Structure 1
């Protein structure tokens, strides 16, 4: 039985974390023995992993506080489990796993970044300085891969594009959800925009809210549902009040019924100033929901401009507002056609079952190459 450890900074309800969980589950179903390690105390997916019998460990690190003791803790877990593959995700876990490899045997180490922006020059220098300690680095969009090559974080021959995948079975069109959710929220004939994501600077909700204020002036029946939590919630709520949009914007917090919310909405919007490959856009596509997204990172690789949605300039409230109004001006049939094309697109490129098989193939090739290399080493000796 093949063994794999996934290491990531933390477990929260966010895109990268959701992807790791899906990969862990997918590989377990294919016969792998899987462990997950969270550097900081996990705040999501604990029950789900326990129910599936996937062991979850934490290094009990504090967010933003480097702790060299984590190397010893990680080393002990790896030494006990003896994995064939260690697959780390995001900058902190990637660097920790690479450094730990100096002290413990890891047959194959894979590093995955989930954005075209994981920090400034110092972090890119860390990637470059530790590159020899991993077999390969991957990123979740073509745009991000090119960005990392340009920044010299990774040589071109050691980085590759592997997209996120989505469980399409979870996201289907259900008319019953449309009626039930709208009834629960006290919304009926309104045009509902849905936004899902952490309430943090990178998602640029200020620009979204400012743009939506202009949308409401021309379309008073428009409503915006914002799903997620984060450090900016109070600030954003105050901003909504200052614009007198309390009756038009609803903050729903963390929700576990995202598929139902998508089925109850008319369109999806994301206003990030940078991205990797947003899971929420894959989910919106799978839900046949037409999208408006800022043209950053992998957004344009999911949203086909004018086909499954529209792209807007980042950090530009005026352009985002015009683009949202352009979507609202379409007939219902036209928007539904966009949604169908979006689902067909993700079905062809981002189905999680196909992505899991692709990762299996990558792992297999890396293990085979490593085995051949060791045979050559022994022959030379």
Structure 2
């Protein structure tokens, strides 16, 4: 039986990406997780070494802080985010370590030529070996679990949660008026960095061009480097979200679009099929198929009503995912963590959120 811990349970989150004034889009999924765990009653401190200094100095800074934390006796668990940062976390043995892998740190990094980079292969090898050395492992999809190493019973598939209070449906015409978009035009949103090879922007562009060639007035909108509040507006103003990646773990933008009831057209990567596969208006495509992606866009544009994505992804609500992560913390530490009750059911919260969602 797990030992009962002293309240509150304290977590040290170690990450190389986290929102800053200069990069408000970086690591937003990590901050959402920190916020959800805090709301659940845990105390979470974040180590995010300053961006801009040489990489070796960033790792050295993190390691110094981790060692001090281990000596302080303040923390119950260290939660690393991404393979190399998880490795730094394991360079101490005083505090249990939960390693959270993001995607290419297990699967490898796809290059512009379609292969895998040497650095990505090294990180993947290190991450897989690390699975044997940490107390618990969190991956984003079943595919990542299959590629991971170590005892399978301590590898848990937990995708990132969605902040349903932030990502929720807003009338399309309202958002278009605010953004200055044409009310009579079709917009397809690419919410990734087009310069990252694995995101395969050329496929998204080719598919939209093919739809436009049929005389449909559609525009591909690229949203990268934007804060979450702006991304929500872009999603709600768009007719569809497109994900054309070669590979993914569990893409956050797909779940966020689903929470906004926006159709999604995506390649069959990561856990996308499980997330959108049963929602009308959404399409899962064969990777690199311009024809299938163009057809999926047409399906999305023809779906004039909001999708049921929000109802179909209730299990991905941030507060629910936080409880799953807390379960892993209990297994990793042998401690029983007190659960904080919010006083409102999920359905009651949803009713409050969707008051403004009707078009």
The bucket for the TM-score relative to the shorter chain is 0.7 to 0.9
Contact 2:282 2:299 in 1 (8 A): no
1:219 positional shift = 3.5
Q: Counterpart in 2 of 1:237?
A: none
Match of 2:206 in 1: 210
Aligned to 2:107: 117
Matched, 1:332 2:304: yes
Whether 1:159 aligns to 2:126 is: no
Separation of aligned partners in 1, 2:255 and 2:99 = 22
Deviation at 1:88, TM superposition (A): 0.6
Q: Deviations over 1:35-80 (max 9, x none)?
A: 1112452xxxxxxxxxxxxxxxxxx753488855653343124434
- Which of the numbers 180, 185, 193 marks the counterpart of 2:188? 193
Q: CA deviation at 1:157?
A: 2.7
For 1:1-381, what aligned pairs fall within 5 Å after superposition? 1-12=8-19, 17-41=27-51, 62-63=54-55, 68=60, 70-80=62-72, 82-98=74-90, 100-102=91-93, 105-106=94-95, 108-115=96-103, 117-119=107-109, 120-148=120-148, 153-175=149-171, 178-182=173-177, 184-199=179-194, 200-229=196-225, 256-304=229-277, 307=280, 309-328=282-301, 330-333=302-305, 336=306, 339-340=307-308, 342-347=309-314, 349-368=315-334
- Determine the C-alpha separation between the residues in 1 that align with 2:26 and 2:286: 24
How big is each residue's C-alpha offset from its partner over 1:163-194, in whole Å with a ceiling of 9 and x where there is no partner?
Answer: 2111112222222x533424633412001111
RMSD value, Cα: 2.7
Distance 1:82 1:369 in 2: 15
C-alpha distance in 2 between matches for 1:168 and 1:255: 12
Structure 1: segments with no counterpart, 5+ residues: 42-59, 230-252, 371-381
Q: TM-score, normalised by structure 2?
A: 0.78
Residues 193, 266 of structure 1: 8 Å contact kept = yes
Structure 1 residue 117, shift from structure 2 partner: 2.0
Distance 1:88 1:14, change over 3 A: farther
Q: Which has the higher contact order (CA 8 A, sep 6+)?
A: 2
1:207 to 1:285, Cα distance in 2 relative to 1, 3 A: same
Normalized per residue, which structure has more helix?
A: 1
Residue 351 of structure 1: how far off its partner (Å)? 0.9
TM-score by length of structure 1 reads: 0.74
What secondary structure is seen at the aligned counterpart in 2 of 1:256? Answer: helix
Contact 1:91–1:118 under 8 Å retained in 2: no
Give the secondary-structure state (helix, strand or coil) at the position aligned to 2:131: helix
Instruction: Tell me if structure 2 keeps the 8 A contact 1:137–1:154.
Output: no
| Higher Rg of the two aligned structures | 1
Q: 1:112 Cα shift?
A: 0.8
Distance 1:64 1:345, change over 3 A: farther
Length, aligned pairs only: 313
